[in-house]
Structure formats: C-alpha cells, structure tokens
Amino acid sequence: MVWPHEVAACFATRTDPLRAIEEAGVASNATRSRVTVVGSLNMDLVARAPRLPHPGETLAGRTFAQVAGGKGGNQAVAAARLGAQVSMLGCVGADANGAQLRAGLEAEGIDCAALETGNEATGVALIVVDDASQNAIVIVAGSNGEVTPETMARHEAVLAAADVVICQLETPPATVRAALAAARRLGKTVILNPAPATGPLPADWLPLIDYLIPNELEAAALSGLPVETPEDAAKAAAALRAAGARNVLVTLGARGVHATLDGAAATLHDAPRVKAVDTTAAGDTFIGGFAAQLAQGASVDVAIRFAQRAAALSVTRAGAQPSIPTRAELDASI
C-alpha cells in the first residue's frame, strides 16, 4: 500500500468497527477466531536514505535497523495483535536469524508448532526507505524455499483448526497451490495476498480463493491491465472476477480499498488520512486485520474498515513488525 508523506490525521472521524460489529449482532468469540498463515519469514535489513538509489549509484544512508519481517510473519503478527489466535506454517534456518524470528512470533502468542527448521539460511529482505516514505525491497528466499507441498501435508491439522487461512507468494508456487487446495477442501475461508506478483495466476488457483487481495501493482500484473486510479482498479477487479476470483479487494494505499464482491456492487472504501513515516508492512497489516475480523464473524465491510484503520496507524511508525498496532492501540486511536 502507498501512503502520502504528509496529510492530516483524522482517525477520530471514522466509524468504530467494534460498534458496527455489535450493531450487526456479531460478538467477538475467542473460540471462533483462529487464523493460520502459510508463508515467509525474513530478517529485514532496513536502511533509511534521502531517496532511493539509481542503478549503479552508491548513496549515503542515514540509519540502519535489523527487524523481523517477511510477508507471512508480518501477517501472522498483525492478525495476532489485532485479535486472532494465530498459527504460523513456514520454515526458518538453523541460525541466529531463525531463532530470533521464532522467538519473536512466540512472544506474540503465535503457535509455532508448524514452523519448521530447514537446511538453508533464514530468508532476508534488503529494504531502502526514502524521505517520501517509499521503499525498494530485494528478497533472498533462503529457508522459505524449503516450504513444500509435503510440508502442507505434514501440518494439515493446523490448517483444519483454522477459520481463515492466509497465503502469499513468497514460498514456492507448488506450495501455495497445495495450501490453497487443502484449505478449500477443509472448508476454510481462504485469503491470497498475491505478493510479489509478476504475472497472471494459474487459472485453477482462482476458484480456491475466497478473497484475492492485491495492491495496484499486483492487480495490474494479475489482470494485464494498467491500474493507476480507482476506476482502473475496478476494471482489473472485474477482469479477475471474470477469470474466476470470488471476491477481489484492491488496496490503493491513501486512496482506499476497491472491493468487488460476489453478489454486491463494487465499492471504494476511503482510507483514513495520516502522516506517513514508513509504508513497510502496511499491506500486511491490512491483511492480518482483515483476516482477524473475518475469523471473528465480522461482515466484509466492517473487516475492511477495521483493517484500513490498522494499516493507516502502521504507516505512522517505522519498520515492519514494529509498526503493526495492537488492538488496544487501534481502539485508543478512535
């Protein structure tokens, strides 16, 4: 998700999602809020610089930090902090980074029984963040490449225990396909965050997915259509629905979320306005918050508004997992 560098904060004008849930007669239920995340875990190496470097250029940076990340890990932490019971299904290396990532997840109360230790080094992400809060990222998969269809089979009980299963594209495609298929067969609500997407998804994936949630760049790659405006997002989402996707949410950062849902009119959900510091993990925060709300029985509209507020709060802070808010922090921002 892409957020502007300086705009006025206005959380106070937003509808409280908790109140909306209560008015809809949906009570939070800890026994009905289980989320399983299948995906990547990386150690993020983050440098801040005045701008992103040009090809071949050496640029002086300002600060450096090493923080837990990876889309799978970020989304697991977001779902846990925002109210769900979470299990992580993935792989780290037998190294210091892997031990640190595992300990961090466990400290969040995330079940790591299905988090295996592989032979490769733990995945890493090299991230540069500029003064406009934009970022450029290079990922080295490492142990994330050792998550296989056989891994899914070994831990099917973890998938079976979930209400919502989340996948991304930072593990091998065959693994993602196996996870989607298993979750569909088990009757779970299935979310795919197609990141990073470089082209259309295999046609047989789309019927396995309940909620396809790309950002504008990913929606363009998946649909083959340009996505620069909310109107473009509507066209891309319609094309993805025609190809077999049930529900498509295109995240547009500060411009909101375009929702094209089965049996409903397409809707643009305006985003809260904030002063952005770092957009890293904003999309992951949205995914985790959205999944946590669905697992608790919230409507899609309520889940979207809740997730938008969580993502907006995350961009006001630096880092990936350090920026993800807790439920209490989100409630206090109203």
pLDDT at 79: 98
Do the domain assignments include residue 124? no
Q: Kindly report, residue by residue over 30-69, the tens digit of the pLDDT.
A: 445 999 999 999 999 989 999 999 999 999 999 999 989 9
Residue 65 within any structural domain of the chain: no
Tell me whether residue 275 is annotated as binding.
Answer: no
d(CA 160, CA 182): 9
58-100, pLDDT tens digit by residue?
999 999 999 899 999 999 999 999 999 999 999 999 999 999 9
Q: With residue 158 as reference, give the H or E element that holds it.
A: helix 156-160
Nearest Cα residue to 299 out of 84, 20, 72 = 20
- With respect to residue 34, please indicate whether it lies within any of the assigned structural domains: yes
* 3-class state of residue 10 by DSSP: coil
Does some domain include residue 322? Answer: yes
* Residue 74 among known ligand-binding residues: yes
Q: Is pLDDT at 17 greater than 70 in this prediction?
A: no
Residues marked active site are found at 284
Does residue 107 sit within a domain?
A: yes
Residue 323, annotated as binding a ligand = yes
Q: Is 72 one of the annotated binding-site residues?
A: yes
> What pLDDT was estimated at residue 25?
36
Coil vs helix vs strand at 247: strand
Query: For all residues of the chain together, what is the average pLDDT?
Result: 90
Task: Report the distance separating Cα 285 and Cα 79, nearest Å.
Answer: 8
Task: Report percent pLDDT > 70 for the chain.
Answer: 90
* 25 to 86, 117, 308: CA distances (angstroms): 24, 43, 22
pTM, two decimals, is 0.88
**Average pLDDT in the 236-240 region?**
96
CA quadruple 274, 278, 282, 283: dihedral positive or negative?
positive
CB-based contact 38:70 (threshold 8 Å) = no
- Residue 230 CA, chain-centre distance (Å), reads 20
Query: Residue 169 annotated as binding?
Result: no
Q: Is residue 66 part of a domain?
A: no
Domain CATH code at residue 210? 3.40.1190.20
Model pLDDT, residue 160: 98
Residues 279-299 have pLDDT tens digits of: 778 999 999 999 999 999 999
Mean pLDDT of 121-128: 94
Omega of the bond prior to 4 within 30 degrees of 0, cis? Answer: no
Contact status, residue 79 vs residue 55, Cβ threshold 8 Å? no
Mean pLDDT value of segment 110-130: 96
- Give a yes or no: residue 36 inside a domain: yes
**Residue 334 banded pLDDT, cuts 50, 70, 90:** low
Q: Does residue 13 surpass a pLDDT of 70? A: no
Tell whether 251 is in a known binding site: yes
The model's confidence at residue 275, banded by pLDDT at 50, 70 and 90, is confident
93 is in an annotated binding site: no
| Any domain includes 133 | no
Check the annotation: does 253 bind a ligand.
yes
Average pLDDT over residues 167-177: 97
Largest alpha-carbon pair distance within the chain?
58
Q: What are the CA-CA distances from residue 293 to residues 17, 176, 218 (Å)?
A: 10, 23, 24
For 111, which DSSP code?
B
Lowest mean pLDDT among 116-125, 133-142, 181-190, 250-259: 133-142
Closest C-alpha among 69, 68, 73, 1 to residue 37: 73
Q: Is the pLDDT of residue 240 over 70?
A: yes
To the question of whether residue 70 is assigned a binding role by annotation, the answer is yes
Q: 323 is in which domain, residue-wise?
A: 11-40+71-119+144-332
Domain count, the chain: 1
- Tally of residues, the chain: 334
